[in-house]
Chain A
Amino acid sequence: MKKLWALFFFFWPLVALIVCWIAPDRGWWFPSEAKSPLGSRIDDLFYLILVIVTVVFIGTQFALGYVLWKGATKEEGSEAYFSHGSHSLELIWTVVPAFVLVFIALYQMDVWAEFRVKSYYPEETLKDGPMMEVKARQFEWRIRYPEPGKDLQNQPQPGDLYTVNEMHVPTGKPVKFNLRTDDVQHAFFAPQLRVKQDAVAGLIIPVWFMIEEAGDYDLVCAELCGWGHYKMRATIVAEPEEKVAEYIEQLQADQNYDGVAADEDDE
């Protein structure tokens, strides 16, 4: 029975490892590989940490199983090993993890800096103003583009163009936008892009990302914002720059539609 218990503690980490091993094939993994360069670096970091953590997991769980097994197989009546610890062992298992942890901490600083620290942003995003304003509200994403040829202002302007739950961005170049909220706190979460940023009442937060591949990407809310939190689904449409320009033009025409113009259809 004792041995069975020791094996129990060997058995479950094994199951955990197998589940993790088969997870990517079964779809229990990232929704897709990262679709933005910064996202790929986040993934790389994840896999690096995953390797380190897996080694430690196997090591410690095996050690736990091993000492339990030794305890279980100890002869009846034999004495326990009397020891208050080992100074050198303590030293080893303090210094080694400390080294690894400091390494992880330092290794990832630049990814973080590039994501959030303005002076590390890609040049293009510093040169141009934000492309649009994404305003979260209970329970949708309202997007405001400046009138073509104008810069985005923090206050709405007469020529501004509005859409809801659909964000068109050009591919192949960094896109910067202002993230705001109309009411409570929300978070801009684009899982395929690995971008997440809270939208905080009273703050205008610049966010940037870059998409290489044209396509539709999900945008969801990741900060509890009320009962409709789960409903805040939107699409980020990445397409070539000309197409975005066309889209904006169409948006402008739609928004100025007066019901008479012959070439428009009224939905």
Chain B
Amino acid sequence: MFLKNRHFSIVTCGLLLAVVAGCSGSDLPDSFKARFVYSDRTEGLMKEAQNGVEDLPGVKELLDERFGDPQHLLAWSQLPVDFGGLSGTVAETPAGDVVKDLKLNLSDSFTLEEGQTAVAQFVTGEAAPAVVIITGWDAEKSEAILASAMETAPAQGDLVVIGAGERLQTGRSLYMQHCSHCHGTSGDGNGPTAEYLYPRPRDYRHGVFKFTSTKPQSKVSRDDLTRVLRNGVAGTYMPSFVPMLNDEQLYDVVEYVRFLSMRGEFERKLAGELSADYSQDAVDARKADGESYKDIVSELKDFLAEDMADSLEFVSDDLATSWTEADTDDALITPNSPRVPDSPESRRLGRELYLSKAINCADCHGVAGNGNGPQTTIYEKNPVTQELYSEPGLHDVWDNLNQPRNLTYGIYRGGRRPIDLYRRIYAGIKGSRMPSFKNLKDDEIWHIVNYVLSIPFEPEPGHAPLPAGDVATASNN
């Protein structure tokens, strides 16, 4: 099985559920034998940090035993992911030696058609991690009929999950069909098609998504991901997936994307804990300073034995908190006052703010909004390696060159509704050099929104009066 009790102790408030591949009722092809790749940061660690010292697991194993591989995804209940499945407990300890039926308390109603089967897995208790196949369900007695007798009898109160991870599996299948050729099997934005696309497909592993409706420090919400799947990202190769996917399927894909993001973020942070002292480069430097390799390894061993548990707890708690928070109302950016009605005056004010020293949109987007401000000609430093990038312009956290939006095209990647532009200004574009302007007053942001929306239609930005018809149109809004 996929469960190893030895490492269970590390996972303090969570439990692991194995997702058995290919057992769900989905008729999507399930036979991809794909694999997750490890991040460069992980691969850059010294071998022992990657693979473990003696019986202490390294980063790779710690990651794999929480997330699995594409064929055998694991559902780590610590994560705020809706893995799918129906959970419940054993209602009463079965009498007799041969356990062929079982009374269950389930969290939701459950039906099983004649001739169908369901897979249930025991999560706690003596019987765990046994997997049983349910061939019949008596709804009145809430009793499950099992395909074969159990080896170890479960006890009352044991946790059991029926159809564990079905949602994640469907999400995985859909992801492999629709998304993986750009975003990659691991969500590293490096599928076979990726290298030909500009901008590059998102690498989820930072846990950062650009176009969100959430506060500057918040993660992406499920609604945001769904909206991107629905509308696509105009001006990029991310197409709309409606009507290809229905609502249910969109939800499944979103859950899988969140799962991959959390996996990537978990790996990133875990490797980050070690990389200062145990990356290949750090080790080389330490050796140059006279430390012996043996000492480094034994220090690493101590770290893994004593401090790793805390690190894991810290990282996973952080993940759980931040991803949960993103879906709350607190995280959502809601303007305090409604949009300032669009008017030449408002646009003029917006234009002034756009050019002002304090906000200085023009520094990147250019005076005329062509996306060619002075910042686009400066060579930036890579914040990690401290080396200059090879091409001038702004770079995002994925090290990709990011052209500031040409506002004259009227293409808005994060959406064209006033609220979308408001949120873009309020929260910035996460991971990119577009900063948050959350300290601006609501009205100020709305003026800028009104101005930005008018840029494609004004022959002389901010100067030429609008044709009468257009002003009338605008005031209708």
Contacts and interface: CB of A to CB of B under 8 A. Distances in A.
22 contacts: A138-B237, A140-B232, A156-B410, A158-B457, A158-B470, A159-B477, A164-B240, A165-B243, A228-B237, A231-B178, A231-B239, A231-B244, A232-B239, A233-B244, A254-B417, A255-B417, A256-B339, A256-B418, A258-B419, A259-B335, A260-B337, A260-B339
B240 A165 contact: yes
B193 interface: yes
B477 A256 contact: yes
A189 interface: no
A266 interface: yes
B449 to A, nearest CB: 8
Given A258-B338, A260-B335, 13 more contacts: A157-B457, A157-B470, A159-B476, A165-B240, A227-B181, A228-B237, A228-B239, A231-B244, A234-B243, A254-B417, A255-B417, A258-B419, A261-B338
A139 B333 contact: no
B243 A258 contact: no
A138 B226 CA distance: 20
A231 B178 CA distance: 9
Interface residues of A, number: 31
Interface string A250-267: 000011111111000011
A162 interface: yes
Of the four ranges (under 10, 10 to 19, 20 to 34, 35 or more), the interface on chain B belongs to: 35 or more
Contact of B231 (A164, A231, A266): A164
Contact of B416 (A162, A232, A233, A258): A162
A255 B416 contact: yes
Contacts of A150: 473
Contacts of A255: 416-417
B378 interface: no
B213 interface: yes
A192 interface: no
A140 B228 CA distance: 13
Nearest to A141: B240
Contact of A258 (B223, B422, B474): B422
Interface string A130-165: 000000001110100001001000001111001011
B81 interface: no
A156 B339 contact: no
Interface string B196-236: 00000000000000000100000000010011000110100
B25 to A, nearest CB: 24
Interface in B419-442: 419, 422-423
Contacts of A165: 240, 242-243
Contact of A233 (B181, B243, B422, B423): B243
A257 B193 contact: no
A184 to B, nearest CB: 13
A166 interface: yes
Nearest to B409: A156
Given A165-B240, A231-B239, A235-B243, A156 B456 contact: yes
A255 B416 CA distance: 7
Which of B223, B239, B423 gathers most chain A CB within 10 Å? B239
Contacts of B337: 260
Interface in B69-94: none
A10 to B, nearest CB: 41
A140 B416 contact: no
A185 to B, nearest CB: 17
Contact of B453 (A147, A158, A235, A259): A158
Contacts of B223: 266-267
A162 B232 CA distance: 13
Which of B181, B244, B453 gathers most chain A CB within 10 Å? B244
Nearest to B223: A267
Contacts of A227: 181, 193
Contacts of A260: 334-335, 337-339
B24 interface: no
B185 interface: no
Interface in A213-267: 227-228, 231-235, 254-261, 266-267
A257 B417 contact: yes
B454 interface: yes
A154 B213 CA distance: 32
A259 B334 contact: yes
